[in-house]
A and B are shown apart, each in its own frame.
Chain A
Amino acid sequence: MSPILFELLLRSIWETVLMTAASGLISLAFGLPLGLALIATERGGIAESLWVNRVLGAVINGFRSVPFIILLVALIPVTRLIVGTSIGTWAAIVPLSIAATPYYARIAEVSLREVDRGLIEAARAMGGNRWTIIREVLVPEALPGIVAGFTVTLVTLIGASAMAGAIGAGGLGDLAIRYGYQRFETSVMIAVVIVLIILVCGIQWVGDRLVARLDRRG
């Protein structure tokens, strides 16, 4: 591989890591509260409100059913509003975050729903309010699942970021398509695949270790 291509590879790794990390953190910041809102507002939840639950569910399903490549283009006006441009790595972070947030909200919802209702009842019986229940019961008890779900989301984001090349965001997927596929640079293709495998395995390993440390359920 030529030094130029190698430099391109390094830059692409950075772009992928940046896109994944930034949109991952944003989807965590918005997706977890959204997951909590879904659980809290459902029937028998700590802040039951069925119409809020239905509206939230419909919006989440709406975003989740649009293919990412369409979302990427459809959100260009929003991206321009937030980042100031519709092209480049930072511009890709907006649609990636918007796609990953509802995805992660559903994953968080599943983990939170698995928290034994008896624990919520115990916290209520102690005189705890909703905030206590969220902070002392729901989130800590669901934490292993919340972290495991975040790991899954990050890996999914690495895959989705390959499409972000369509708006000039760069990244490993873009490098593989333009150099490895379209220019028959087999060495680039192999290098990209190896780097992606290492990235995915690394994220999964760290995630699994963290879950094992957090899980006290015996």
Chain B
Amino acid sequence: MNQHITASGDTADLTHARPDTSQDVVRLVELKRRFGVTAALDGVSLTVRKGEILGIIGRSGAGKSTLIRCLNGLERPDSGEVFIEGREISRLGERDLQPLRRRIGMIFQHFNLLSAKTVEDNVALPLKIEGRPKAERLKRAAELLDLVGLSEKAKAYPASLSGGQKQRVGIARALAARPALLLSDEATSALDPETTRSILALLKDINRQLGLTILLITHEMEVIRSIADRVAVIDAGRIVEQGSVWSVFADPRSDVTKSLLGAIRPQLPAELAAQLLPAAGAETILRVDVAGEAASGPLLSDLATAVPGAFRLVHGGIDHIQQQPVGTLFLSVPGSDANHLADIIRFLKARQARVEVLGHVANPV
């Protein structure tokens, strides 16, 4: 009882703080769900704005699947609130959830197509559930199959399709009832990298063309990088970090985010990392993270001009995320002149770069 009062109090505050909540397709407030002794969701609050692609990333077992299933009532939270287009749904009965679920499309890791139905009947199924006449269903299925580029497979059965084609059918099916929100549950995790790229491109297209709001969960940063506008990192049932994709990529705060980013951000080459010593040596290795203007400007040549003395670029790269340059550079500064090193670090920090001394190597590489 007490908890309920607190929760509704928070809600009122949030409404005051953000007058544009009407733009929120999804709003989660302090969502909790336990399975036995483990907390799958441990107080998750999150909003998904109209027209955006929000990516939720986490390791397996972090609570992603439970979270996405709370949004269409496939899973019920123990406490907390789920607002879909402003309506609280977490306490609705199965019968009241059914019309709501028709406003929410969902695609799955293993596609979940019905093997006994043709591609067009699979796509038309949500409309059949809505009770639409057959002619309308088939017309809409044809439109959607055209959208996903599978018109010629309308009469085929799912078993004859490749994984990428199956997911295209899954996407067409999820769009059939013109949903306000698309949920993507690890939709590309069972696909090879090339197919993944084409499915992600399709989702991005749909997001742009139809203005469809998409919430996706994944364990791959690459997926977030290629299509998400914002990212939320979930770990042990809590959102540990969130923000626009490029800012989180440029400046990850939590260890989970850093480790998830590890796969796609430049890393110090292993043979060099193995030689690192904490004590001063012949060369000092710096990690320099840059984003925005610092990354697009002539940072290194400016550094060479401003600070006389040598430094070498060992490894690194600049990536473009949401049209924003985000980069990581590994520099090696020779010699034991502490002032020279301090000048370099000072210059880089003045240019909004984040600098970390990784260690020293005895023999120049």
Contacts and interface: CB of A to CB of B under 8 A. Distances in A.
Given A122-B108, A124-B101, A218-B157, A132 B129 contact: yes
A195 interface: no
B114 A119 contact: yes
B128 interface: yes
Interface string A108-123: 0000000010110111
Give the bracket for the number of chain B residues in contact with chain A.
20 to 34
Contacts of A128: 98, 129
B159 A127 contact: no
B101 A141 contact: no
Given A141-B116, A216-B115, A127 B126 contact: yes
In this complex, the member of A122, A126, A129, A217 whose beta carbon has the largest number of chain B beta carbons within 10 angstroms is A126
Contacts of B160: 218
A125 B104 contact: yes
B74 A124 contact: yes
A216 B113 CA distance: 12
Contact of A141 (B97, B115, B128, B177): B115
B102 interface: yes
Nearest to A144: B116
Contacts of A122: 106, 108, 112
Interface residues of A, number: 22
B72 A125 contact: yes
Contacts of B101: 124-127
A122 B173 CA distance: 10
B117 interface: yes
Given A126-B126, A129-B94, A136-B117, 4 more contacts: A118-B108, A127-B100, A141-B116, A216-B115
Interface of B: 72, 74, 94-95, 97-102, 104, 106, 108, 110, 112, 114-117, 125-126, 128-130, 157-160, 173, 177, 183
Interface of A: 116, 118-119, 121-129, 132, 136-137, 140-141, 143, 214, 216-218
